[in-house]
Chains A and B, each alone.
Chain A
Amino acid sequence: MIMTTQFCSFRLAHLTFGVEVDRVQEVMRSQALTPVPLAHEVVRGLINLRGQIVTALDLRRRLDLPDREAGEEPMNIVVRSSGGELSLLVDAIGDVVDVDETTFEGPPETLDGVARELITGTYKLDDRLLLVLDTDRAVQLPAPA
């Protein structure tokens, strides 16, 4: 059950997502990424976070969304997970938002496939819907098809 939490919002394609603020360690601009050949396609590579080597996961790929356009640099949301820190690559970082609890609903019918599994629900924001990301599941790699 989601308590009164704040969410760090971010954008992927035309959609707005949110991650609980206390899961977020920091946000950063695009970082130099070292690709890992032959790794899962969701793993974009490794970044140097103040001396720690952090794996960067591409959320678009994780959610089965089409890749970013060439030239568009992603932003990094570094989250804490049971296995350590991980960076989520997103299109753009939005504000930290307070949500109106009463507007919580389950995942919309219009979401399908992977996205449906990774969204725990939605909140209504002023002008759009905030899709709540299930961080723990999102950072797990999808099983091979």
Chain B
Amino acid sequence: MSEIDEIVGEFLVESYENLDAYDEDLLALERDPADREVIGSIFRTIHTVKGTSGFFGFNALESLAHVAENLLGRLRAGELDVTEEIASALLATGDAIRRMLGEIERTGEEGTEDVTALADQLGRLQADDPASGEAEAPAVDASAVADVDTSTPDDTSPADDDTGDDHGPRLGDLLVERGDVDAEDVSFAALEQDFGDPRRLGEILVDDGKASEEAVASAVEAQVDNGQRSVADTSIRVDVGLLDDLMNLVGELVLTRNQLVQLVSDDTEHELTGASQRLNLVTTELQEGVMKTRMQPIGNVWNKLPRVVRDLSLSCGKQVRLVMEGQETELDKTIIEAIKDPLTHLVRNAVDHGIELPEDRVAAGKSEEGQLVLRAFHEGGQVNIEIVDDGGGVDADRVRAKAVSSGIVTQDQATRLSDREAVNLIFSAGFSTSAEVTSVSGRGVGMDVVRTNIERIGGTVDVQTELGQGTSFKVKIPLTLAIVPALMVSSGDDRFAIPQLSLIELLRLDGDQAASAIELVHGVPVYRLRGRLLPIVDLSSQLGHERDRSGEAINIVVLHADGQSFGLIVDLIHDTEEIVVKPLGSHLKEATLFSGATILGDGRVALILDVLGIAQRARVVSESADRAMSTEVDEVATEHTERRTLLLVEVGDDRRAAIALADVQRLEEFRADAIEHAGGQEVVQYRDAILPLRRLGDLLGAGFVEPPEVLDVVVHRDEERSVGLVVGRILDIVEEDVDLDGGATGHGVFGSAVIQGRVTDVLDIQVLLGNDPGVM
């Protein structure tokens, strides 16, 4: 029975294919009801389904197709106009047929769906009186059929040989090309045919002695071959499983090549090196070639969208025209599945939330019909997909407000976001911009899923908008998933691969820098990278083995996931390699830190880090504890613009310094001559104890200034000891939102701030005095 199964399988494949075109054709027909070719194609699809289903005994399918065919017959004959109702009914028919095919696929039977309502509707529509005033087609019967189905006049024109056609070369042209005849002879022969000569072109030429029989015979053969090749498919059908196998084999070859390359590089034997290089080249080309076979045009994903847009527009009461550019842009099939849903959601979102109602559009001076453009193209080694609407745009302020009320950002942070950054908040989890929940595209909760899904395959998504003008979503995704470039790093004895797409840059902090450069904010380690705070995650810690890194140099890999950058501390950074991504087995579903594994050149297995997984686990993204950190806001401004009470002092000639009042125990005045010296240090007697003194000017390298008679001293106490800090002049006590510009300028200084219009060093007393070897 398996041969029957094969034939049923063929039937299913062919029907699905035809139904895809059928949907497109129906939408095209709605736009241009006079398109006879399209009607013919739609008719043939239903006709074929009807015809073939009979052989298998799929009676319900056959009857439904039969009713639909009757309706289409009248349409084709011009007796009926295409109306929205008819188009909808026919689309519904296509859907019903698909469902039945699905049942057949699953169970071998048509299923029990009751389509009588649909069939009745089709019957009713078919029985409607013909539209009045509609130009009748000349004949309602066979000649109409011939009109639609036969080829263009070219094919039966006597000027050509019977077997010449649109696709293959004409006999006369071939002969001229080959130099067997002159062009004039061909024209003359063609003229004879025009005058009624029934002979074929080749015959005429031979009879007239213009060409030899052999030449004509050979040309005819070539023509048939050519014609046949161009009429027959230049492509073949290949089972997808076979392509997957090929891809796996290529993957193995890549791994083996990696192994060989590694072994050979240690070997200086010339011939071996040469062969290895050739293998390298061939493998790369083979890899590219096989990857090409898996490439499919994005049109395959898009072809469902016109229907989606149509149905959605109707139910929303909007008018939307869908324009698609770049359908032929190719993607690896592994990616195609992954982006279907996100793209569909973005399109639905544009229709539902983006494009305004026709009356609103008119009121805003726009056309009634909104336009939605889908654009795809290759750029920079990635596939770019843009979804652009000319709708009302996204109101950045409303997004800000919503983000604040949803707890995604604080009011403060929200205000500091640029409009562009604010609008990208719509991708945050737990967000919704629609005023009401629409059943059509949901609350907009899909947006964060959209971004997650896109990022999961190594892509990015960004939104730009102009209020009142429209919105555009830009998606970028890699060309393939199976073989990717990755950066190799180590943690302990183990090596890990980080997909290069997630990689932004590499940092290395030397021992000294390392100690102070990583700060703690809200208990989270961060590094200040060019003014932005980068959350830091230690890979070793995440993997469960803490490491004491004090005194060591620190390697940081800056990564990005879910819109957030973060730095990952690793022990060692190695090279970038091309790795073959192999999936982890089901036993490792829980290991969210890893997205797969690969085999290295030396045969060892290395795990591939799941950047998003690490970010989530380390609570760098989308976890409420660090929501404050999860936007790319200039955190410097936020964190360090705390309101502080500062003691303003003068230092040296012209410098100013500020000391947190919390660090000040007392302010004292001492006469210069009260200073004594003990053990090489300045001290003063103070409250029954000796108070060591340090001069701030010296500590800051502010230059020597003649000390005045009376010294202002800031007494600072930590743990057990007190120290007196001799300052220039105590100026003021201020409360400031300190916004620090620039990084640390040296030991003991947090940074500089502008206070009372003057650049002021904000001091870290603890460090300042702690570092001073002179203090006991």
Is B19 among interface residues, defined by CB-CB distance under 8 A? no
Is A141 among interface residues, defined by CB-CB distance under 8 A? yes
What 0/1 pattern do residues 584 to 596 of B give for CB contact below 8 A with A? 1111101101100
Which residues of B are found within 8 Å of A15, using beta-carbon distances? none
**Complex CA distance for A46 and B607, rounded to whole angstroms:** 9
**Complex CA distance for A43 and B494, rounded to whole angstroms:** 16
Interface contact B593-A37, CB-CB below 8 Å: yes
Interface contact A51-B605, CB-CB below 8 Å: no
Which residues of A are found within 8 Å of B255, using beta-carbon distances? 51
Q: Which residue of B lies closest to A56 (CB)?
A: B587
Which residues of B are found within 8 Å of A34, using beta-carbon distances? 494, 597, 604-607
Given contacts A36-B594, A83-B585, A83-B586, contact A51 B607 (CB under 8 A): no
Interface contact A48-B544, CB-CB below 8 Å: no
Task: Tell me what chain B mostly uses at the interface: helix, strand, loop, or mixed.
Answer: mixed
Interface contact A86-B585, CB-CB below 8 Å: yes
Interface contact A141-B599, CB-CB below 8 Å: no
The bracket for how many chain A residues form the interface is 20 to 34
Interface contact B587-A57, CB-CB below 8 Å: yes
Is B531 among interface residues, defined by CB-CB distance under 8 A? no
Is B582 among interface residues, defined by CB-CB distance under 8 A? yes
Contact of A40 among B587, B599, B607 (CB under 8 A): B587
Interface contact A36-B586, CB-CB below 8 Å: no
Q: Which residue of A lies closest to B491 (CB)?
A: A37
Which residues of B are found within 8 Å of A47, using beta-carbon distances? 605
Is B252 among interface residues, defined by CB-CB distance under 8 A? yes
Given contacts A38-B544, A55-B585, A86-B585, contact A48 B591 (CB under 8 A): no
Number of chain B residues whose Cβ lies closer than 8 Å to a Cβ of chain A:
25
Interface contact A48-B585, CB-CB below 8 Å: no
Which residues of A are found within 8 Å of B252, using beta-carbon distances? 51
**Complex CA distance for A112 and B252, rounded to whole angstroms:** 44
Interface contact A53-B587, CB-CB below 8 Å: no
Which residues of A are found within 8 Å of B588, using beta-carbon distances? 36, 39, 43, 55
Interface contact B543-A48, CB-CB below 8 Å: no
Which residues of A are found within 8 Å of B605, using beta-carbon distances? 32, 34, 45-48, 53
**Complex CA distance for A48 and B543, rounded to whole angstroms:** 22
**Complex CA distance for A86 and B593, rounded to whole angstroms:** 21
**Complex CA distance for A37 and B544, rounded to whole angstroms:** 7
Is A84 among interface residues, defined by CB-CB distance under 8 A? yes
**Complex CA distance for A35 and B495, rounded to whole angstroms:** 11
In the complex, the 8 A-B pairs of residues with the closest C-beta atoms, listed nearest first: A34-B605, A37-B543, A46-B605, A55-B585, A39-B591, A53-B582, A53-B597, A55-B587
Interface residues of A (CB under 8 A from B): 32, 34-40, 43, 45-48, 51-55, 57, 83-84, 86, 141
Q: Knowing that A45-B605, A48-B605, A53-B605 touch, tell me 4 more A-B residue pairs with CB under 8 angstroms.
A: A47-B605, A53-B582, A53-B585, A53-B599
Interface residues of B (CB under 8 A from A): 252, 255-256, 494, 542-544, 582, 584-588, 590-591, 593-594, 597-599, 603-607
Query: What are 12 sample pairs from A and B whose C-beta atoms fall under 8 A apart?
Result: A34-B604, A35-B494, A36-B588, A40-B587, A40-B590, A46-B597, A47-B605, A48-B603, A53-B584, A55-B587, A86-B587, A141-B587
